Amino acid sequence: MSSSLIISIYKLHAELPLLLSALAQQSHIPDEIIFAEDAISEDTIKILSSESKKYSHLRLRLVQHEDRGFRKAEIVNKAVALASHDQLIFLDGDCLPHRHYIRSYVENLGVGKLLNARPVYLKEECRSMFVGTEHQFIMPTTVSIVINAFNGNSYAVYFPWTPVRQRNSAMRGSSWACLKEDFIKVNGFDEYFCDLGYGYEDIDISHRLNRLGVQCFVPKNRVIYYHFGEAGQGESKAMALGATKAHLAMNDQKGLLACVKGMNQWYEKIDFSWVSER
């Protein structure tokens, strides 16, 4: 199967070169990389245009919309409406993928599966160990992670023979993957969450996919990605908002499968803001 990598960003100008460096080092290059920016930023286009000249083997795309508050669910739906491939891999733009990140998702994703990886947190004070000249990402080794005892280090060792286990706990939306046909069947993210505030839109779509018959599996020690900073940053804010939590509960109570306000409204209504020459 072919794959589309969709990366959620918001004016991530300082980190874009580092992320592109990590993507360029993948052992399996995705068929397309779509940056989904929850804003309109000319600087993003300038950086992608400049950096893409270094990485001609990457097929880069960008979709943007007006900055009207936190609307990640909407911009990701728009990106999926433009995606061309069978497998969808989702990654937050402030995360950095291990070199086998794409390959591991592609090899382990299948019918009836949603894969949801957990991050390895790299301590901010150790950034210089992993960022080289010209903002190049230096892939962490197992030894460097064990020595420095980073948060989430149990997820850091690449061991592709580890069983992919089913999990019933809530999904974290920073890195996951599913088949595009399943995403379409549930009509993507519920954009009513955008009207209510921040948080729970990722848990909601995982619940609806589960009701479709798509089970959540953990590709521990197979799909690895990194994040600078401490574990749990931003989660308390997301989980504290009652309006989004109440909407999640309502969808669950109804047994909702396909959301009403989802990706189906964007077909043939949008286009890419920028594409690479490849």
Q: Does 69 score more than 60 pLDDT?
A: yes
The CATH code that applies to domain 3-265 is: 3.90.550.10
- Of 131-135, 169-173, 196-200, 209-213, the one with minimum mean pLDDT is 169-173
Q: Does 66 score more than 70 pLDDT?
A: yes
For residue 28, the model assigns a pLDDT of 97
Predicted TM-score (pTM) of the model is: 0.94
For residue 235, the model assigns a pLDDT of 46
Please state, rounded to an integer, the average pLDDT across all residues of the chain: 91
State the SS3 of the chain.
CCEEEEEEECCCCCCHHHHHHHHHCCCCCCCEEEEEECCCCHHHHHHHHHHHCCCCCCCEEEEECCCCCCCHHHHHHHHHHHCCCCEEEEEECCCEECCCHHHHHHHHCCCCEEEECCEEEECHHHHHHCECHHHCECCCCHHHHHHHCCECHHHCCCCCCCCCEECCCCCCCCEEEEEHHHHHHCCCCCCHHHHHCCCCHHHHHHHHHHHHCCEEEECCCCCCEEEECCCCCCHHHHHHCHHHHHHHHHHHHHCCCCCCCCHHHHCCCCCCCEECCC
Domain boundaries, the chain: 3-265
- Of 5-19, 56-70, 141-155, 216-230, the one with minimum mean pLDDT is 141-155
> Stretch 80-93: mean pLDDT, rounded?
98
